Amino acid sequence: MKKITLFAASLLLLAGITRAQEPAPYPQITNIGARSLQSLDGTWASLVDLYEVGAYDYRGKPKPIGNTFFMDRHFFADETKLVEYDFDVAPEIKVPGDWNTQRMDLYRYEGTVWYRKAFEQPRTPGKRYFVYFGAANYASVAALNGKILGKHVGGFTPFNYEITDLLREGANSLVVKVDNRRHLQDVPTVDYDWWNYGGITRSVYVVETPETFIRDYCIRLKKVAAPANAKAAKKAAAELKKYGSAIEGWIQLDGPAAAGKTVTVAIPDLKVSKQVTADENGLAKFEFRAKVSFWSPEFPKLYGVSITTDQEELKDRVGFRTIEARGNELYLNGKKIFCRGVSVHEEKPFNAGGRANSKADAQALLGWVKEMNGNFVRLAHYPHNENMIRAAEEMGIMVWSEVPVYWFIDWTNPETYANAENQLTENITRDRNRANIIIWSVANETPIVPHRLEFLSGLVDKAHELDPTRLVSAAMEKEYINDNTLTCNDPLAAKVDLMSFNEYVGWYDGNVDKCDRVNWVFDIKKPVFISEFGGGAPAGRHGDKYQRFTEENQEYLYQKSIGMLSRLEGLAGTTPWILKDFRSPKRFLTGVQDDYNRKGLVSENGEQKKAFFVMQNWYAQLKEQYESK
Ligand code: GCU
């Protein structure tokens, strides 16, 4: 009996299962930037704990909370006590930021790092307090003043905990255990082509709210069904001209006085001010008409919106637009568009990379997209930080947002599904009011195996349920009908709104000239999106156009790919792989890759490769073609 327990204990340790289930985070507080905040960004104390000493005993059993690092005890405060850690003298680490590029001894580190922030937060009677994390990769458990707040899983979406009753006068201790180890049941699972940057990678705030506050809201153009006939269309057009578009939404209040509370939604530029009353669940729905100027890449119009109760005013800037697929064409605000895009990983634009998180990072990365005559980005393969989304919205760049259901996921594991659905829900909750997001993507390059379609269909339905106004898709894969004919026959294609897939003809699939002889056909008539194509070349490596990993080969591949794709009927968007070289633990070619995927059109130091200008030219033509209509 004893022997099994030891084995089970070590398995428990290896599997990273923690103590009695920690609570889940509090429902998400949205539009965090507009709240009353104390930033906890900056320098934190850190302890690198590969052997999980801070949480487990030498039998592999979870330690009683009092013996864990969550307690933030101090050896040097009383050296008579055996306490073998002290955050007060521990090495420092920056938040937000990954640990891999901050400390070279953690460059490839996968395990636990303990973070501790000491802070003061004066409390005002009648106010509530929450601690908000923009993201922490991958699994994190937080505690305040030795009390566990909860656990969050998923490295790319926000979460928050209520701390009102746990805050102290004077110094407070926030301890966060962050673990970026990979497990089969995780989302993403154990294998992916990007660096497993660990840590508290986005900003952390203490949020102060009224006792009853506006926790979440939605404001958007009401989706109107296509008029059934000419008479109905005429009537709809007359109404639109006379009254403007229908705008709808809801406000979720949170607190003891939520039920029956009056809420006002105002858009001064539209001379709109609508008063509504919250129902017994604190939910207030509204609808009104207004003559709006639509948000578009050419004209990224945002309106100042304020939501007011007797206790607070919350402001936001919101754009209004419609996006729809009609047959194999894509329409934004009723006008046919082409998504001139590029795929982007969330890495800093310069200086040895690491996780991007600031507005400046976003503007630099998106600046290259604009320079490429782009109007669209595929943010791969996970939700990027809110600064990126809002910067793109201001710069007139449409967004494909994706959750990291990547390659082979544990399809039959209900926890894995719940995790994936939760990440999707957190993503949509944070970004639902951003006009520039036009597509939610539920997966990338997942194999057509049993249980996968059910899993992904569930996510597609969830996305539509949470947000009936946007398109939902996934990056699927191509396949051959015969030597010269390609298609995408993924059963998921019937479920999603776009025929979107990755293709690497001329790189992983044959040499460049193959592009000239292949054609594409599709059974399903939906807008076609090439969510990835391309090839690698380090900036400055030159040679013959058939010599791989040279700028000339990458340039030639792009020229040929564009030729091939331009023959494709129903092409509505492209996001070549990828804007910038990015770190990957799967790239080994010494002197060429050196831990970098070199498929960027820009190098990790910001050098634009020859292929960048091939895309710039093509997108200039498409811009002319579509915007002059
Ligand atoms: C895949 C995958 C990417 C990867 C790319 C590549 O298609 O989706 O994440 O980086 O190919 O091989 O470069």
> Count of CB atoms within 10 A of residue 331's CB?
15
Closest CA to 554 of 535, 577, 541, 529: 535
Task: For residue 380, give the ligand 1 atom closest to its CA.
Answer: 9
575 lines ligand 1 (CB under 6 A): no
Is pLDDT at 19 greater than 70 in this prediction?
no
State how beta strands 329-332 and 519-520 pair.
unpaired
Angstrom distance (rounded) from CA 378 to CA 436: 12
Q: Are 392 and 362 in contact (CB under 8 A)?
A: yes
Q: What is the pLDDT of residue 16?
A: 47
Rounded average pLDDT over 376-394: 98
Tell me, in angstroms, the distance from the centre of ligand 1 to residue 476's CA. 12
Strands (E) located in 85-195: 92-95, 112-120, 127-133, 139-144, 147-153, 159-162, 171-179
For the Cβ of 597 lying below 6 angstroms from any atom of ligand 1, the answer is yes
Longest dimension (CA), the chain: 87
Answer yes or no: is the C-beta of 446 below 6 A from any ligand 1 atom.
no
| SS3 category, 453 | helix
pLDDT greater than 60 at residue 5:
no
Q: Is the pLDDT assigned to residue 1 strictly greater than 50? A: no
Atom of ligand 1 nearest to the CA of 508: 12
DSSP 313-361: EEEEEE----EEEETTEEEETTEE--EEEEEE-SB-SSTT--B--SHHH
pLDDT band of residue 14 (cuts 50, 70, 90) is very low
Position 75 confidence tier, pLDDT thresholds 50, 70, 90: confident
Q: Using one digit for the tens of pLDDT, what is the confidence trace for 411-429?
A: 999 999 999 999 999 999 9
Mean of the per-residue pLDDT values of the chain: 95
Q: Among 445, 478, 586, which residue has the most ligand 1 atoms within 8 Å of its CB, making it the best to mutate?
A: 445
Residue 216, ligand 1, Cβ within 6 A? no
User: Do the beta carbons of residue 29 and residue 210 sit within 8 Å?
Assistant: no
**Would you place residue 629 in the very low, low, confident or very high pLDDT band (cuts 50, 70, 90)?**
low
Is residue 71 scored above 60 in pLDDT?
yes
* Residue 120 half-sphere exposure toward CB, CA atoms < 13 A: 4
Closest protein CA for atom 12 of ligand 1: 193
Q: How far is ligand 1, taken at its centre, from the CA of residue 196, in Å?
A: 15
Give the distance, in angstroms, between the CA of residue 376 and the centroid of all CA atoms in the same chain: 15
CB of 532 sitting under 6 A from ligand 1 = yes
Q: How far, in Å, is the centroid of ligand 1 from the Cα of 459?
A: 22
273-282 burial by CB neighbour count: b if 16+ within 10 A, else e?
ebebebeeeb
Give the model's pLDDT for residue 90. 97
Place of tokens 């709006």: 292
**Angle at the Cα of 146 from the Cα atoms of 143 and 151, rounded to 5 degrees:** 25
Whether 436 lines ligand 1, by a CB cut-off of 6 Å, is: no
For Cα atoms 439, 444, 450, give the angle at the middle one, nearest 5 degrees.
115
Please tell me the distance between residue 479's alpha carbon and the centre of ligand 1 in angstroms. 16
CA distance 262 to 286: 12
Distance 534 CA to ligand 1 centre (A): 10
Question: What pLDDT is attached to residue 78?
Answer: 86
Q: Is the CB of 431 under 6 A from ligand 1?
A: no
592 pLDDT exceeds 70?
Answer: yes
pLDDT tens-digit series, residues 204-213: 999 999 999 9
Q: Ligand 1: which atom is nearest the Cα of residue 599?
A: 13
Average pLDDT over residues 227-245: 88
Query: What is the model's pLDDT at position 229?
Result: 87
Q: What is the CA(485)–ligand 1 centre distance, in A?
A: 22
Cβ–ligand 1 distance for 445 under 6 Å, the answer yes
Say which range, 53-67, 225-239, 556-570, has the weakest mean pLDDT.
Answer: 225-239
Report CA(606)–ligand 1 centroid distance (Å). 20
pLDDT at 261: 98
Residue 12: what pLDDT?
47
Pocket lining: 577 vs ligand 1, CB cutoff 6 Å: yes
The CA distance from 255 to 129, in Å, is 12
pLDDT at 224: 84
The Å distance, Cα 12 to ligand 1 centre, comes to 33
Ligand 1: atom nearest CA of 406 is 8
Ligand 1 center–CA 533 separation, angstroms: 9
pLDDT (mean) for 132-160 = 98
Strand positions, DSSP E, 346-428: 376-379, 398-402
Q: Pairing mode, if any, of strands 437-444 and 398-402?
A: parallel
Contact 343 CB / ligand 1 (< 6 Å):
no
The pLDDT assigned to 147 comes to 97
564-573, pLDDT tens digit by residue?
999 999 999 9
Say how many Å lie between the CA of residue 193 and the centre of ligand 1.
6
Flag the least confident range among 237-241, 327-331, 442-446. 237-241
Compute the distance from residue 161 Cα to the ligand 1 centre, in Å.
Answer: 35
In contact, 456 and 409? CB cutoff 8 Å: no
pLDDT of residue 182: 98
Mean pLDDT of the 54-76 span: 95
Q: Could you tell me the pLDDT band of residue 17, with boundaries at 50, 70 and 90?
A: very low
The residue nearest atom 4 of ligand 1, judged by CA position, is: 193
CB 586 within 8 A of CB 353: no
Q: What is the pTM of this model?
A: 0.95
| Residue located nearest, by CA, to atom 3 of ligand 1 | 193
- Nearest ligand 1 atom, CA 444: 8
What is the average per-residue pLDDT within 44-71?
A: 97
- pLDDT > 90 fraction of the chain, expressed in percent and rounded: 90
Pocket test for ligand 1, best of 344, 509, 577 (most atoms within 8 A of CB): 577
Residue 15, pLDDT > 70, answer: no
3-state secondary structure 240-296: HHHHCEEEEEEEEEECCCCCCCEEEEEEHHHCEEEEEECCCCCEEEEEEEECCCCCC
CB distance 324 to ligand 1 below 6 Å: no
Taking 70 as the threshold, does the pLDDT of residue 251 lie above it?
yes
